[in-house]
Amino acid sequence: MNKNLCKSTTEVNINISTFENAIAWALNEGYGIACYRLPESACFQLMIDISGKPMRCQEEIEQLPTGFIFSPFDNQEPRDAFYLTAHLMLKSGENEASCNAEEYYPQRDALNQYLQNTAETPPFRYHQPTENSDPAITPRAEFIRLVNEGIEQIENGHFLKFVPSRTKAVSLAQFQLVENLKQMATEYPNAFVSFVSIPDVGSWIGATPEILMHMDQQSVFHTVALAGTQPFPEDGDLKNVAWRQKEIEEQALVSRYIINILKKLRIREFIEKGPKTVKAGNLIHLKTTFEIDTKTISFPDLGNVMLRLLHPTSAVCGMPLEASEQFLKAEEKYDRAFFAGYLGPINAEGESYAFVNLRCMQILGDHAILYAGAGVTADSSPEKEWTETELKCNTVGKIIQTPRESN
Ligand SMILES: C=C(O[C@@H]1C=C(C(=O)O)C=C[C@H]1O)C(=O)O
């Protein structure tokens, strides 16, 4: 693919009707798919797994064929995550799909014929989970109770921080999958924008600001500590932003969590930068970046090891991990499913990524569920945390509920 086409300074490059037709074809055939746009890129990729089954990661990520990892929140091992192999691929700017082996020529040819001959996209048949996973919708009072109860636990010394979350139901009346993906990519240039649909597992769309694991083309490992939230300032100037002690501590706990893991692995050669204020759509966060050259320290499978040890970080669960996780499991009153799990392309163009599945939505029949959480420490105000989750829900909620001019 022409790399210049994908520079984020160019307009987001996606042929809407080609992607719509390819996605409709794959879903109607019963195939699993992932359609995504990496941060700072203007290009989308579509991966299609033609096995038609929800497959798990069979290998360590370093050994996997090109594909896409999709892990629920409740997961101990990268091997338990779902994995889509990229049997067929379609990229922005191209009107024909390619395949990863000769044996998939028939499916590739069928898709390309479909792309040539289909004028009007049929409705999408989004894959749905086999188990009833319509989660309970969190009332405001219930979330506030949860925050107050957790603060009490913090005061009693059970943990230092926890990250309660909630759900919100929204209508899909204005939803236009590919159009909305394009809008998210345009409005949130730093986000990882994705749509994943796996038979019997479900369909999720999101625009997350948080990298959990990135192994780049030079085998340098990257992760981040992202926490602390404020609305994006009205004057748009990030230099004047002030953070309260509460957010500074909340984010420092996430950095500490990462450093503790590096210590356990006896890794001393890492580059830490930040914290610095970063924009994530309608919000801003504090972010520290960590970089490790895995060649220098002779640790080629660090990506897999870190994925296992990092998830769930204290940006989405709490600190210390076990006590806060137990509390959330007992008190949160719904299944997070894939919210705050991780997802991303693996061994694609020499790189692997796993992003934390935040600012996301599950598509269920004619409605959808938004998910959002907020870090709570001893100094948190329950009402403010609720407002924060509303703002986080808006990242995707605003885009999928805005009528388009042509509607
Ligand atoms: C939990 C979420 O976001 C996380 C929590 C944050 C916070 O507590 O301030 C900020 C960024 C993310 O690490 C979410 O978006 O749902």
Label residue 1 by pLDDT band (50, 70, 90).
low
Give the residue whose CA is nearest to atom 2 of ligand 1.
Answer: 373
**Phi first, then psi: what are they for 60, rounded to 5°?**
-65, 150
DSSP-derived secondary structure for 205-226: EEEE--EEEEE-TT-EEEEEEE
pLDDT tens digit sequence for 358-404: 999 999 988 999 999 999 999 999 999 999 999 999 999 999 988 76
Q: How far is the CA of 356 from the centre of ligand 1 (A)?
A: 10
Per-residue pLDDT averaged across 55-70, rounded?
93
Task: Return d(Cα 3, Cα 13) in angstroms, integer.
Answer: 12
With the most atoms of ligand 1 within 8 angstroms of its CB, the residue from 146, 190, 226, 253 to mutate is: 226
According to DSSP, the residues that pair with 221 across neighbouring strands are 215, 292
**pLDDT at residue 46 tops 70:** yes
Q: Is the CB of 166 under 6 A from ligand 1?
A: no
Q: How far apart are CA 393 and CA 132, in angstroms?
A: 23
Indicate whether residue 247 lines ligand 1 (CB < 6 A). Answer: no
Mean pLDDT of 219-231: 97
Query: What are residue 364's DSSP bridge partners?
Result: 367
Q: What pLDDT sits at residue 9?
A: 74
Rounded to whole angstroms, the Cα distance separating 359 from 339 reads: 9
Judge whether 57 and 65 are in contact, CB under 8 Å: no
pLDDT value, residue 155: 98
The pLDDT of 263-274, averaged and rounded, is 97
Ligand 1 pocket check: which of 314, 319, 392 to mutate, most ligand atoms within 8 Å of Cβ?
392
Q: For residue 5, what pLDDT is reported?
A: 77
Judged by average pLDDT, the poorest of 2-16, 225-239, 273-287 is: 2-16
For ligand 1, say whether the CB of 280 is within 6 Å of any of its atoms: no
Give the Å distance between the CA of 191 and the centre of ligand 1: 14
What ipTM was reported for this prediction?
A: 0.99
Residues 6+ apart with CB under 8 A from 116: none
Judge contact between 85 and 347, C-beta under 8 A.
no
Classify strands 202-208 and 192-198 as parallel, antiparallel or unpaired: antiparallel
- pLDDT tens by residue, 90-134: 999 898 999 999 999 999 999 999 999 988 999 999 999 987 677
Is the pLDDT higher at 118 or at 220? 220
Count, residues in the chain:
407
Q: Which of 25, 18, 229 is nearest to 125 (CA)?
A: 25
Residue 18 has pLDDT above 80, yes or no: yes
Rounded to whole angstroms, the Cα distance separating 337 from 132 reads 11
Q: Whose CA is nearest to atom 8 of ligand 1?
A: 375
pLDDT digit string (tens) for 145-195? 999 999 999 999 999 999 999 999 999 999 999 999 999 999 999 999 999
Contact 159, 318 (CB under 8 A): yes
What are the Cα distances from residue 276, in Å, to 8, 192, 224, 252, 316? Answer: 21, 19, 11, 12, 19
Q: CA 14 to CA 284: how far, in whole Å?
A: 27
**405: pLDDT strictly greater than 70:** no
**174-178: long-range pairs with CB below 8 Å, 24+:** 174/400, 174/401, 174/402, 174/403, 174/404, 174/407, 175/363, 175/368, 175/400, 176/404, 177/20, 177/23, 177/124, 177/205, 178/14, 178/16, 178/19, 178/20, 178/23, 178/35
User: What mean pLDDT do residues 65-92 have?
Assistant: 94
The secondary structure element, H or E, covering residue 401 is helix 382-401
Asked if 140 contacts 110 with a C-beta cutoff of 8 angstroms, the reply is no
The pLDDT assigned to 2 comes to 57
- The CA dihedral of 194, 95, 351, 337, to the nearest 10 degrees, is 20
